[in-house]
């Protein structure tokens, strides 16, 4: 565990290094209002609960919450955004002041401040009321005052940082804060910012910005690809067909869609049979059913709609409630006509022939019984997303399934999130964006930035309310998993499952390998050292003595499993060692669900027997070359040959043993 502890110290060093880093946030700011009520009866007029309001909380939302997270994580945050001259605007100013954000917002008397009000009972969101979404674009005077504020804030930050170029974060959620003149100014002045992060519902509007990092949700990424490729069909990789739908209504960031606005059509949840069904992906479905347990079903954009009284959903780093797509249960298609400014969730049909996302026209083929993994789909399109966004780093967020992050050099990282109630996840995407931006601005490697961003988002979802992560909480979380004596190196399968779950909650990537490791040699050491660099946690599974005998013959192993496991556990870059009795590690792989599965050998990953299973579970398969002339069999053969020479040479008989 020494290597893991050193890794945590390195990550903490990155967090310390971004202290005071100048960050300018511009975009759609809004107010999040939380109303907590109690209910113990239904009203007589309708089957609706009678609510008694107990408390009310206001918080910064959208671009404002991103700025709050930057400040809470230790950065120097400045917010430039249009804000209404109204009560909601006054509350938003108070939120920014309390968080230590430099408030450079521009009052717009003719435009209301967007507000998202959530009514809760028992921590369950019962409804959300949106108000203040502007009907008209910013007038020319408003645009000019916004550009002036942007220019002044940029110079103010640069002066405060001793001439250092600030970092820019753009939050474009389609609420009118970033009209074409503002976008054009940002593109023309790109060189004034060292690092540029972009979170936009419509990425196509920002191609000329050349951002450092973009953080689209899966739905936003597929819409961009659909717009770029039309109805062209890929002939390699996953079978994808992208047809861009008419119109791209936008929603605010990090939101859970709960019901429909007054006067709008309510959501419809359609049941689709799982593997083996005769329905073909994309065909219409006529019958509708609601989940009997009241849990939310969801589309690929991460939005969820509660269908029962408990209404629980799961949420991930982009803050959207969702239900997973594991192929083991009935999938769902969710049709919804939302109010103006709302993004209609992707409609999903999962069948034996594939997955269809009707809102984006996405179709992914899958074998019968095989789960369709959004992470695998996103990973297969990272190169195209780099091209169409012009970004160095693309982080496709997958709500409950974490994120897939790719660099321009081909480096990829997979992170995981933790299921939580939907009321805990509002704004988690803002926290993710803030941490990712600060880490990249501090010149952290892609793997480090991805891990810190996921950990930050995970920390924020511990309670109901708009998500904010403090620097102190992030540093404490980096210490927590590796306190001395908390987890032993040598573990059994049950202990390993709990350990992996803890690391997943912290957003760490798990690397898994297995083998006999009968005689540990230089080739093993180099191979394991390389494997550790592919993730944050290296697990080595070792065949038991009986398993080795079945695989290698009655004269193996040379060393008992206790010795083999102890030697592996002594290596600083091995985090955990587990022994398995079977001939194949398949059961352990199912339990661990590694992000990266590694085998030693000079052959393509496709030849690894475990490769299909690992990929079905969403992991990557990597093979690492052996060190020449270093293998257990050759070492054992040399030892045996030397022993035979001693027995046949009489000159050795008189020498003491």
Q: Strand 196-200 to strand 213-214: parallel, antiparallel, or no bridges (unpaired)?
A: parallel
Mean pLDDT of 461-484: 77
pLDDT at 432: 94
Position 525 confidence tier, pLDDT thresholds 50, 70, 90: confident
Give the per-residue pLDDT at 398.
86
pLDDT score of 62 more than 90: yes
Q: Please give the pLDDT value at position 195.
A: 96
Give the dihedral sign, CA 123/127/130/131. negative
Res. 647 pLDDT band, cuts 50 70 90: low
Q: Is 224 part of any domain?
A: no
Length of the chain: 657
Residue 537 pLDDT > 60: yes
Residue 613 belongs to some domain of the structure: yes
For residue 523, pLDDT over 50 is answered with yes
Residue ranges making up the domain that contains 493: 487-637
**pLDDT recorded at residue 644:** 59
Residue 108 placed within a domain = no
Is the pLDDT at 426 greater than 50? The verdict is: yes
Whether residue 514 is contained in a domain is answered as: yes
277 vs 655: which has the higher pLDDT: 655
Q: Which of 101-105, 311-315, 610-614 has the lowest mean pLDDT?
A: 311-315
Residue pLDDT, tens place only, 599-645: 887 678 888 899 999 999 988 898 887 555 455 556 656 666 665 55
- Catalytic machinery residues: 430
Per-residue pLDDT at 259: 27
Average pLDDT, integer, range 60-84:
96
Average pLDDT, the chain: 76
Q: Residue 279 to residues 122, 272, 326, 353, 358: CA-CA distances in angstroms?
A: 39, 8, 18, 9, 15
Find the mean pLDDT for residues 216-227.
Answer: 90
Nearest to 568 by CA among 588, 540, 602: 540
Residue 54 belongs to a domain: no
Query: 594 with 512: CB under 8 angstroms?
Result: yes
Q: What six digits make up the tokens of 219?
A: 């739905």
DSSP 217: B
Average pLDDT (503-513) is 86
Instruction: Tell me what pLDDT residue 481 has.
Output: 44
Indicate whether 80 pLDDT > 80.
yes
Asked if pLDDT for residue 312 goes beyond 80, the answer is: no
Contact 63, 200 (CB under 8 A): no
78 pLDDT more than 60? yes
pLDDT for residue 65 is more than 80:
yes
Q: In this predicted structure, what is the pLDDT of residue 410?
A: 86
pLDDT at site 527: 85
Check whether the bond before 557 is cis (ω within 30° of 0). Answer: yes
Question: What pLDDT does 294 receive?
Answer: 35
The better pLDDT of the pair 342, 74 is held by: 74
Mean pLDDT of 71-81: 96
In a domain, 545, yes or no: yes
Whether the pLDDT of residue 462 is over 80: the answer is: no
Residue 39: the pLDDT is 86
In a domain, 494, yes or no: yes
pLDDT for the residue 264: 35
pLDDT of residue 572: 81
Report the number of distinct structural domains present in the chain: 1
Q: Is residue 625 part of a domain?
A: yes
Give 511-523 as a DSSP string.
EEEEE---S--HH
Task: Provide the pLDDT for residue 66.
Answer: 97
Sign of CA dihedral 213, 219, 224, 225: positive
Q: Which of 241-250, 340-349, 372-381, 581-590 has the highest mean pLDDT?
A: 581-590
Look up the CATH number of the domain holding residue 515: 3.40.50.620
Question: What pLDDT score does 9 carry?
Answer: 79
Phi and psi dihedrals of 98, rounded to 5? -65, -30
């Amino acid at each position: 565990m020494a290597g893991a502890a050193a890794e945590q110290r390195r990550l903490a060093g990155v967090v310390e290094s971004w202290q005071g880093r100048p960050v300018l946030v511009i975009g759609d700011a809004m107010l999040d209002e939380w109303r907590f009520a109690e209910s113990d009866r239904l009203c007589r007029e309708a089957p609706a609960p009678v609510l008694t309001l107990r408390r009310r909380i206001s918080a910064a939302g959208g671009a404002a919450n991103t700025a709050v997270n930057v400040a809470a994580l230790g950065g120097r945050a400045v917010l430039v955004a249009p804000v209404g001259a109204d009560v909601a605007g006054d509350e938003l100013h108070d939120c920014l002041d309390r968080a230590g954000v430099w408030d450079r917002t521009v009052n717009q008397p003719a435009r209301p401040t967007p507000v998202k009000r959530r009514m809760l009972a028992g921590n369950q969101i019962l409804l959300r009321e949106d108000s203040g979404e502007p009907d008209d674009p910013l007038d020319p005077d408003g645009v000019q005052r916004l550009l002036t504020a942007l220019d002044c804030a940029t110079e103010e930050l640069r002066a405060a940082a001793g001439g250092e170029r600030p970092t820019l974060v753009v939050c474009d959620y389609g609420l009118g804060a970033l009209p074409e003149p503002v976008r054009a100014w940002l593109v023309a002045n790109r060189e004034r910012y060292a690092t540029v992060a972009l979170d936009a519902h419509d990425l196509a509007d920002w191609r000329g910005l050349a951002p450092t990092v973009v953080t689209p949700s899966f739905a936003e990424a597929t819409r961009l690809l659909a717009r770029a490729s039309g109805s062209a069909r890929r002939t390699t990789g996953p079978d994808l067909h992208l047809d861009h739908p008419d119109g791209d209504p936008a929603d605010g960031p990090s939101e859970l869609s709960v019901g429909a606005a007054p006067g709008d059509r309510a959501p419809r949840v359609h049941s689709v049979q799982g593997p083996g069904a005769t329905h073909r992906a994309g065909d219409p479905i006529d019958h509708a059913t609601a989940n009997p347990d009241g849990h939310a079903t969801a589309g690929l954009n991460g939005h969820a709609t509660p269908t029962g009284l408990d209404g629980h959903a799961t949420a991930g780093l982009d803050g959207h409630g969702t239900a997973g797509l594991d192929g083991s249960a009935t999938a769902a298609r969710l049709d919804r006509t939302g109010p103006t400014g709302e993004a209609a969730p992707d409609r999903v049909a999962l069948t034996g022939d594939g997955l269809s996302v009707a809102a984006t026209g996405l179709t992914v083929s899958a074998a019968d019984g095989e789960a369709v993994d959004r992470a695998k789909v996103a990973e297969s399109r990272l190169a195209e997303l780099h091209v169409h966004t012009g970004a160095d780093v693309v982080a496709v967020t997958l709500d409950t399934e974490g994120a897939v992050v790719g660099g321009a050099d081909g480096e990829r990282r997979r992170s995981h999130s933790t299921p939580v109630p939907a009321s805990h996840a509002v704004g988690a995407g803002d926290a993710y964006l803030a941490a990712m931006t600060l880490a990249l601005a501090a010149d952290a490697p892609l793997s480090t930035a991805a891990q810190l961003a996921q950990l930050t988002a995970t920390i924020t979802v511990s309670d109901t309310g708009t998500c904010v992560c403090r620097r102190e909480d992030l540093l404490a979380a980096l210490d927590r998993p590796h306190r001395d004596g908390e987890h032993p190196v040598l573990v059994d399968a049950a202990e390993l499952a709990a350990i992996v779950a803890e690391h997943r909650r912290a957003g760490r990537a798990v690397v898994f390998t297995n083998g006999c490791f009968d005689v540990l040699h230089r080739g093993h050491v180099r191979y394991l050292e390389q494997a550790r660099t592919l993730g944050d946690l290296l697990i080595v599974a070792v065949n038991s003595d009986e398993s080795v005998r079945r695989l290698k013959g009655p004269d193996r192993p040379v060393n008992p499993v206790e010795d083999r496991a102890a030697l592996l556990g002594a290596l600083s870059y091995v985090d955990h060692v587990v022994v398995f009795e079977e001939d194949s590690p398949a059961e352990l792989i199912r339990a661990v669900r590694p992000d990266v599965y590694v085998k030693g050998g000079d052959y393509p990953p496709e030849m690894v027997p475990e490769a299909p299973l690992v990929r079905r579970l969403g992991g990557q398969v990597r093979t690492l070359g052996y060190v020449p002339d270093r293998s257990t069999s050759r070492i054992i053969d040399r030892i045996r040959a030397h022993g035979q020479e001693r027995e046949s040479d009489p000159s050795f008989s008189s020498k003491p043993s």
